[in-house]
Amino acid sequence: MKKEKVKILGIESSCDETAVSIVEVSSSDKGKILSNIVFSQIDQHSPFGGVVPEIASRSHVESLSPLIDQALNDATLKIQDIDGVAATSGPGLIGGLIVGLTTAKGIAVGLDIPLIGVNHLEGHALTPILTNDIYPPYILLLVSGGHTQLIMVKDIGQYIQIGTTIDDAAGEAFDKAAKFLDIGYPGGPALEKIAKKGNNKKYKFPRPLQNSNDCNFSFSGLKTSLIREAKNIEPIDEKTISDLAASYQQAIIDCIKIKSEKAINKMLAQNNTSEIKYFVASGGVASNKAIRDNLTLLAQKHKMRFIAPPMKFCTDNAAMIAWVGGLRLLRGQSDELDTPARARWPLEEMKIHEVLNG
């Protein structure tokens, strides 16, 4: 007999957060988060100004088992109450992925329950259905440390890539700038904080690809221009750093707005406009308030609602992994025990259709 509800244990270990969550997913595509724990490794990586893969993997090994116990305890469940186990199997740092996926495989074997290997990007893409009670179709800006993509979410499991970054992701552009300016780690929140004190019109940074007809992003040249500008005015004081950060952040925001608007226009031209009610941002960079404010205005301009998950569900978490695992399990989908960890796992490989640019 097909179950109406399943309880899924989710594991996320693709980068520098070890996360475990238990989500109850119903056949009506509704979810209830029973527990959600994130152990951040920020203190371990801060001295290096970025994530060190070996340190991340070791930390996942040390913290994962106690976090699973804590998640079960928070949900007042026993491990035998779990109907399936989901783990991020890509994309991400291969060492961390192997730790989480291997742990999930062990649980699946021990309990004789299904294993679901989840694409991290699909986790971000479907989070708003869980947290904001919306349903596709919607246009998604997936913006994080490793990815910047515009995706048409037509339905659960049906995605159209509208645009992607051709070099650095927006989060990477934030992090590298923060490291160069020596303003703290993690770089995105540090730069956002200092940018509030600066003049965002002080320095004229480029908006790469702004005049191209496609919806692709490029942030590498923008980062280079910041470094060049900073070196030209050395030594730089606190006020100058604030102005550089504010101007640089505004350039990133403008790039995101320009391409997001092109994506909206492209999708509205191809679809019944009454169907697409939401413009959604998900991923770690979507927690940036200035970006949210700008995208809210953009969505309103096109008579759409801007939606972003709560801050704690924008950054990496295991609730989104358990959630996707439950959705897939209720659709009769699960994975074999030899399913691999993948450092690269583009959404295109999940049978996503490309939109031809132009």
Task: State pLDDT tens for residues 35-44.
Answer: 999 877 566 6
Per-residue model confidence as pLDDT tens digits over 307-332: 999 989 998 899 999 999 999 999 99
Q: How many other CB atoms sit within 10 Å of the CB of residue 102?
A: 16
Give the pLDDT score at 119: 94
Contacts of 2 (CB under 8 A, 6+ apart): 27
The CATH superfamily holding the domain 136-310 is ATPase, nucleotide binding domain (3.30.420.40)
Which residues of the chain register pLDDT less than 70? 1, 41-56, 60, 272-273, 348-358
- pLDDT score, position 213: 93
Residue 54: predicted pLDDT: 64
At residue 14, the pLDDT reads 86
8 A C-beta contact, residue 86 and residue 103: no
Type of residue found at 334: S
pLDDT for residue 277: 93
Pairing of strands 138-143, 278-282: parallel
Q: Beta-carbon neighbour count of residue 62 at 10 Å?
A: 12
User: pTM for the full model?
Assistant: 0.89
Parallel, antiparallel, or unpaired for β 305-307 and 148-155?
A: unpaired
Q: Give the per-residue pLDDT at 48.
A: 57
- CATH number of the domain located at residue range(s) 5-126+313-346 in this protein: 3.30.420.40
- pLDDT of 146 reads 82
List the alpha helices (DSSP H) in 2-90. 42-45, 53-74
Q: Residue 195, Cα to own-chain centre: how many angstroms?
A: 22
Sequence spans of domains, the chain = 5-126+313-346, 136-310
**Separation CA 95–CA 97 (nearest Å):** 5
